[in-house]
Amino acid sequence: MSVKGEQKAISFRHVANRGAFERPVQPAGQVLRRLWTYMRPHLWGLLLAAALSILGNVIGLVGPRLSGRAIDAILGEGGVDFPNVFRYALWMVGCYALSGAMTYALSRLMIRISRSIVFDMRRDAFNRLVSLPVSYFDRHQPGDVISRISYDIDTINTSLTHDLVQMAASLVTVVGSLLMMLSITPLLVLVFAVTIPLSMAVTRYRAKRVRPLFRERSAKLGAMNGFIEEITAGLKTIRAYGREEAFTRRFDGKNDEAVDAFYRADRFACINGPIVNCINNLSLALISFFGILLYMGGRVTLGNISSFVLYSRKFSGPINEFANIISDLQSALAAAERVFRLIDEEPEPADDPEARAMDDVRGHVEAQALRFSYEPGREILHGVDFVAPPGKVVAIVGETGCGKTTLINLLMRFYDADSGRITLDEHPIRSLPRADLRRAYTMVLQDTWLFYGTIRENIAYGKPDATEEKIVAAAKAAMIHGYIESLPQGYDTLLSDNAVNLSKGQKQLLTIARAILIDSPMLILDEATSNVDTQTERQIQSAMLRLMEGRTCFVIAHRLSTIQGADQILVMDKGAIVERGTHRELLSRRGTYYELYAAQFQGA
């Protein structure tokens, strides 16, 4: 993208980042319903998990009753009944062991289910990501997008794996404990008529307050990741200009914002547990006081009081845990909301229902009165017209930011013009399937992109079924075969992440070889030799000419020496074509092109 386009993109990103905080929080019920759509295919597994949770907790609830009977056996009138004490103790050990085994099985099952759910969610997010228009990535930092697919989905995974299991277990424990306490003495249960509503009110109130904080936390982390990604990509430039301290200070600001967001969310959330725990301890004190009164009145035994106290802890303990889980759940809901916003983003507009593929593309391209703006009110292209006959080379030159790359974006339909039209073989490109239109072009860009894989795989990226002979021929034409052969593994050499083990020139030669291998009727060269030294550039000129032969070519170049043989040169200035013609014609006019040429060659 041109500098001006990049400036628009940067401003878009700032708008998008502000929008992340200004968008209203989605209702929790709406987010949970979306999560349920991913959980529904695993219904039988969830039912089994529910059965394990119920059975394991029910068995665990038998323990306190056995404990009470053991105490009564110790305090019996005939002395200590050791056989019964040992029997009850063994039964308690067996119940707790079986309950623990079921809890372990439940955890294993939920891990498997959550893994499948997270896989489906991450797949949907990535599938939507690759279907989004280029404009989306101009408005959003890569680090923020990565944060949604990685950190946010991992947060959801943690919640599904642990929080849901804990909530299910807590629900069974609370209900079972309540029934057990009612069976012992309903009078003491009245204590919870005061403490439970109070706990629920506190939990509900604070949950509403904490979720926006977790939402802001995720957004701030995404912004910080975006900044780190940009700085990592430009680290060499930062060091070359000695700007480490300046960017360190800027990172400190981003880091402070992220840490403060984490602190505010966690600080507000961590208060929930102590408040609810205090209320639960109040219920324990009331149970102890009224239990003694009932014992003195002969209404209950000490074993019953002991069992009731244990059940009260089992009853109130999950409520206290639930208050902590609510905080984690709010974090998961905030993360899920960010992921669903990505999934709900509008994909690239669908092709015209009447779009028909072109079987034989000749490569006749014509633009008529093109106008375009990245954002309303700031037009980039102003009424651009040109004709590119089949098999001809059209060079586009001009000062940085004049709209050259923007014009290429319109040719490829990465963006659509605000007005005017572009035709291919007299067919408006809006009436053609985007995939077919883009396959008609081969692109070699200034910014090279190579993926993790062998050199052979990278050259054959656009034509995976290419034979070894064709791959080698393409590499020879791009003047990179000799270097590849000098490597220990040759064409099987594995390129590291973003091919950092190659120089920029070598990476660009590989992308040129990739373009040579693809037999498309049209070619776009956007500063394709900018990272190649002058001597190497001269060496591959003949190969580039063979590559361009018979194809409609659009060449963006700052080195005017590379486009002197173009059939037509379009000179752009401030978003408009101000001159057009051959190299000799434009020099004879002594206009804008002449000035550009003179500026480059005045030393010669």
Residues 90 and 234 in one domain: no
**Could you report the per-residue pLDDT of 368-413, keeping only the tens digit for each?**
999 999 888 888 899 899 999 998 999 998 888 888 888 988 998 8
- For residue 308, the enclosing domain spans 132-347
Q: What is the mean pLDDT of residues 443-459?
A: 82
Residues 507 and 585 in one domain: no
Provide φ and ψ at 351, rounded to 5°: -65, 155
- At 132, list the tokens: 């989004």
Domain boundary among 118, 143, 173: 118
Residues 435 and 576 in one domain: yes
Residue 7 — very low, low, confident or very high, per pLDDT cuts 50/70/90? very low
Residues facing 386 on adjacent strands? 367
Residues 514 and 525 in one domain: no
Please indicate, yes or no, if residue 5 is contained in any of the structural domains.
no
Provide φ and ψ at 202, rounded to 5°: -65, -45
User: What's the pLDDT score for residue 385?
Assistant: 92
Q: Rounded to an integer, what distance in angstroms lies between the CA atom of residue 561 and that of residue 578? A: 20
Q: Rounded to an integer, what distance in angstroms lies between the CA atom of residue 311 and that of residue 67? A: 11
User: What's the pLDDT score for residue 78?
Assistant: 54
- CATH code, domain with 185: 1.20.1560.10
Q: Which amino acid is at 366?
A: E
- The H-or-E segment that residue 196 falls in is helix 192-233
CB 374 within 8 Å of CB 8: yes
User: What's the pLDDT score for residue 16?
Assistant: 42
User: What's the pLDDT score for residue 536?
Assistant: 64
User: To 5 degrees, how large is the angle CA 537–CA 568–CA 366?
Assistant: 120
In the predicted model, is pLDDT for residue 243 greater than 80? no
User: What's the pLDDT score for residue 604?
Assistant: 47
Residues 312 and 203 in one domain: yes
Poorest-pLDDT segment among 118-127, 216-225, 254-263, 511-520: 216-225
Q: What is the mean pLDDT of residues 139-158?
A: 81
Residues 457 and 413 in one domain: no
Domain boundary among 118, 140, 155: 118
Please indicate, yes or no, if residue 62 is contained in any of the structural domains.
yes
User: What's the pLDDT score for residue 578?
Assistant: 92
Q: What is the mean pLDDT of residues 340-351?
A: 86
Most confident segment among 82-96, 448-462, 494-508, 568-582: 568-582
Domain total of the chain: 4
Please indicate, yes or no, if residue 9 is contained in any of the structural domains.
no
CB neighbours of residue 331 within 10 Å: 26
In the predicted model, is pLDDT for residue 289 greater than 60? yes
Q: What is the mean pLDDT of residues 43-63?
A: 80
Query: What DSSP assignment string belongs to 305-371?
Result: HHHHHHHHHHHHHHHHHHHHHHHHHHHHHHHHHHHHHHHTS--SPPPPTT----SS----EEEEEEE
Residues 58 and 138 in one domain: no
Q: Are strands 552-556 and 522-526 parallel, antiparallel or unpaired?
A: parallel
In the predicted model, is pLDDT for residue 4 greater than 70? no
Residues 219 and 325 in one domain: yes
**Could you report the per-residue pLDDT of 496-555, keeping only the tens digit for each?**
766 666 777 788 888 888 888 887 889 888 876 666 666 766 666 666 776 777 889 998
User: What's the pLDDT score for residue 570?
Assistant: 92
Expressed in angstroms, the distance from the first to the final Cα of the chain is: 31
**Could you report the per-residue pLDDT of 346-359, keeping only the tens digit for each?**
888 888 877 787 77
Please indicate, yes or no, if residue 490 is contained in any of the structural domains.
yes
In the predicted model, is pLDDT for residue 420 greater than 80? yes
In the predicted model, is pLDDT for residue 21 greater than 50? no
Poorest-pLDDT segment among 199-213, 413-427, 475-489: 199-213
In the predicted model, is pLDDT for residue 20 greater than 50? no
User: What's the pLDDT score for residue 394?
Assistant: 92
Poorest-pLDDT segment among 10-14, 24-28, 406-410, 423-427: 10-14
Q: pTM value?
A: 0.68
Query: What DSSP assignment string belongs to 110-157?
Result: HHHHHHHHHHHHHHHHHHHHHHS-HHHHHHS-HHHHHHIIIIIHHHHH
Residues 94 and 237 in one domain: no
**Could you report the per-residue pLDDT of 58-78, keeping only the tens digit for each?**
787 777 777 777 776 665 555
Residue 252 — very low, low, confident or very high, per pLDDT cuts 50/70/90? confident
**Could you report the per-residue pLDDT of 464-493, keeping only the tens digit for each?**
888 899 999 888 888 888 888 888 888 998
- CATH code, domain with 470: 3.40.50.300
Residues 201 and 277 in one domain: yes
